[in-house]
Each structure stands twice: as structure tokens, then as C-alpha cells.
Structure 1
Amino acid sequence: MSSQVTPSAKYDVTIGKLGARLNTSRTENEANVAIVEHTLPPHTLAAPLHRHSREDEISYVLDGEMTVLADDELTTVPAHESVVKGREVWHTFWNAGDEPLRFLEIIAPGEFSEFFEEISRLYPLDPADEEALARFAEICERYDFEADLESVPKLCQEHDLHV
């Protein structure tokens, strides 16, 4: 590994109610891995059902408890435990608890870590704003990321969540 340190463009943004802070940029290591610290308030859905085709996400819960829905299976991940959300798997996650959720998202390869900063500029995303939706679709396509925006109302209703 080179002794030269590559500067990274760090960010600290909010997407809806999901906080995202880039801790380690993919450009800081030869493995091309990124680490993003996320926060999520109680009883809040983080994202619509979605899937990635190019990266795996490993979530390590620091505080609180994460509920993950992956391929129709629910898993509860307590503090100091981790869960893998692999490529091509339809998934989402939320904070069903009464305490704030804080976790590290290890993204490999790490290009997808840049997605959070890009889409934060579009929020709040108005479903009637066709230009914003077109920009969202373009960003998703660039990252080879599929999102089922229509899953949000059903998930919120079924699991008593807010967006």
C-alpha cells in the first residue's frame, strides 16, 4: 500500500430522516471499501425496498436495534451484531424500537457510498416533482440501484413506521 494518503470528500447529510456521514472513503484504501455511519430515529423506515447489483452492505449496529427485511424474511439485529445485505437481494430496514438507531454500513466495493450525498440534494423528494424523480432515477441507474418507491406506504402501514 502506498504511504501517500489520498484525500477524501467527506459528507454529513440527511436523506429524509436517515443520517449519513462518510467515515471512510473508498479512495482511502486499496480495497475500495467505504464506511458510512447512519442514524435513524425510532419507528422510522430508512428506505423503500431496494437492491444493489454491484455491492454488498454489511451493517454493524452500534446503538439501538435494526429490523431488516430481505427476501421476505424479517431479522432483528441488536447492538454489537451485524447483518449482510448482499447484492441482488431485495431488502430494506428500519428502526422499530423506541431508541435511536446508529450503525456502520460497510460497503464493498465502495462506490455506492457516494449515492447518499448525491440523493440528499433531492430531498425531500416530492412525488409530484417529475424533474426531481427523473434525477433520482438517473442517479439510481448510474449506481445500478433499483428502488420500489411504491413499497413505502405498505411497509409503513404493516410495521407502524414513519418515513
Structure 2
Amino acid sequence: MPPGQGSSGTLGSIGVDFKLWGRDTGGAVSIVEHPFPVGALVRPHLHTREDEYSIVTEGEIGFRSGDREAVLGAGGYITKPRDELHAMWNAGAVPARMIEVISPAGFENFFHELSELLLSVSQPEVSEIAELAGQYGLQFGQPDWLPDAIARYNLTPLPE
């Protein structure tokens, strides 16, 4: 995949650039890139089927996975194991970007379907997103540390 190629979409608060699909790797991994606008927050969630490995390539991205919290700059790595609640946010004053390695592959299809849904409807029903998430073993959480992280990093609050 040459630089700058691959399809792109939106996941709401962040973007997604598709680089390697499961069909490209025999199902072993998929790779996407996520651009993070200033103030972007990815809702706390956990995966029941895959592990994620993130590499920051631009800016600063904050991560909370389980009880671990870190802000990483370009070149920083973090693991987000399956069944561990995690969230990510732009922790800086400039746009940020990261590479996401998903193992095993398959969850990239959730990103694709969510992006398509968000293109077709400006404000999808919560039940539509919950149903789609359930198909991929994705669960959302509302941890008690979230309001503090939103305040500390001046993040855009999540819709209820």
C-alpha cells in the first residue's frame, strides 16, 4: 500500500484510513490509521474478539487501558488487550495520528460499516450503533475516570 492510498471514512470523533484488510493478511491482522482532530475522544470500549496495538505517528495521543494511562508522542507504542476497557484522545493542541494493528483481523469491517452508516444518516439511532457493535463483540463503558480526562485534556464531551 503506497503512502496516501487506501479508502478513508469517519467514525464520528476520529477518522479511519484503511491500509490492510484481513483478506490481505489471511485473517492474521488488519491495519488502519486514525487521524485525531484536536479535542477528539474515542468512547471507552472493549473488544471481546481481538487485541489492538497502537503506534503514534503524529502529535500526542492519550490512552487509558484498564488502569494504565499514558500520553504518547510520535514513536510511542501501547497494547490494548481484548476484554480490557480502553479509550483514546488527542492529548495535544495539534492534530494527531496513529496506526492501529488489529489481531486477528475482522474488526476493520466494523469501522467500514460504521463509516457507511454515518455517511448515510447524519445522526444514527443509538440502537443502530449498539446493534452493529454487538455483531462485532464490541461493548461500551462509562468509567468514573472519564469526566476527569475530559476536563484535563479539554476534550469534546461525548453525546449521551
Q: Within the alignment, does 1:24 sit opposite 2:20 as a pair?
A: yes
Amino acid at match of 2:138: F
Q: Quick check: 2:58–2:97 contact (8 Å CA) kept in 1?
A: yes
Amino acid at match of 2:111: F
Aligned to 2:150: 156
Q: Which moves more between the two structures, 144-153 or 116-125?
A: 144-153
Q: Within the alignment, does 1:139 sit opposite 2:135 as a pair?
A: no
Q: 2:81 aligns with which of 75, 86, 94?
A: 86
Query: CA 1:149 to 1:122, structure 2 compared with 1: closer, same or farther past 3 Å?
Result: farther
**How far apart, in 2, do the equivalents of 1:51 and 1:76 lie?**
19
- The DSSP-based 3-state class of the residue aligned with 1:161 is coil
Q: Which moves more between the two structures, 30-39 or 116-125?
A: 116-125
Amino acid at match of 1:119: L
Q: Spell out, residue by residue over 1:57-90, the C-alpha distance to the aligned partner (whole angstroms, 9 max, x if none).
A: 1111111111101123311111012111111111
Q: 2:113 aligns with which of 118, 121, 131?
A: 118
Coordinate RMSD, CA, aligned: 2.4
Structure number with larger C-alpha Rg:
1
Q: Quick check: 1:49–1:92 contact (8 Å CA) kept in 2?
A: yes
Identity %, equivalent residues: 30
**How far apart, in 2, do the equivalents of 1:151 and 1:110 lie?**
31
TM-superposed CA distance for 1:11, in Å, is: 3.3
**How far apart, in 2, do the equivalents of 1:144 and 1:44 lie?**
23
**How far apart, in 2, do the equivalents of 1:31 and 1:109 lie?**
6
Q: 1:52 aligns with which of 37, 47, 52?
A: 47
- The DSSP-based 3-state class of the residue aligned with 1:97 is coil
TM-score w.r.t. length of structure 2: 0.82
Structure 1: which 5+ runs fail to align? Answer: 1-9
Question: What is the count of residue pairs matched by the alignment?
Answer: 149
- The DSSP-based 3-state class of the residue aligned with 2:107 is helix
TM-superposed CA distance for 1:50, in Å, is: 0.5
